[in-house]
Amino acid sequence: MTPPLVDEILRTQTVHAIEGSATLPLKDAIDAEIGSLLQKLILEKRPSVTLEIGLAYGISGLFICDALTKVGGKKHIAIDAFQSTTWSGIGIHLFVKPDMEISLNSAKQLSQDALPQLVNEGVKVDFAFIDGTIPSTKEWWISSMSTGF
């Protein structure tokens, strides 16, 4: 089921700026079909910790966190070096939930820098969504890891 906020965003194809009443056109976001697939996988695999690379406006994060909450998940890690610049911080602002520990790595780190740091910290991830979309192909990578990384 599509979370209500996501349904609104996908229907209007706009997101609201953090401050003020400005709206921005939705771009580079997953659609409801991919979001439903993410939720289905999370409900089946029941991960405790999830990882997402490429947060953008937070659509995938909202789908993931909605399902993660339903299975008692503990943490969603989102890595997006461009969150505070290209995406104006909207993604992290939209999907922060009070009953979940949300971690967003430094906006100055690219995934190739952040991932080794997570490994060095001993972080174990049960499910990962790599949203490295290329607009002409719309390719995503979804991984379920039973042993973490």
Question: Where are the domains positioned within the chain?
Answer: 4-144
Rounded CA-CA distance 29/55 in Å is: 9
pTM for the whole thing?
A: 0.81
Q: What mean pLDDT comes out for the span 2-16?
A: 87
Whether residue 62 contacts residue 140, with contact meaning beta carbons closer than 8 Å, is answered with no
Tens digit of each residue's pLDDT (9 = 90 or more) over 62-81:
899 889 989 988 888 888 88
User: If DSSP codes are grouped into helix, strand and coil, which group holds residue 7?
Assistant: helix
Mean pLDDT of the chain, nearest integer = 79
- Could you give the percent of the chain with pLDDT greater than 90? 17
Q: Between 81 and 19, where is the model more confident?
A: 81
State the alpha helices, DSSP H only, in the chain: 4-12, 32-45, 59-70, 90-95, 111-120
* 104 pLDDT above the threshold of 80: no
Q: What is the DSSP letter of 50?
A: E
Rounded CA-CA distance 24/39 in Å is: 26
Nearest to 61, CA basis, from 133, 128, 145: 128
Q: Between 61 and 101, where is the model more confident?
A: 61
Rounded CA-CA distance 73/99 in Å is: 10
Note the pLDDT of residue 5: 83
* CATH architecture type of domain 4-144: 3-Layer(aba) Sandwich (3.40)
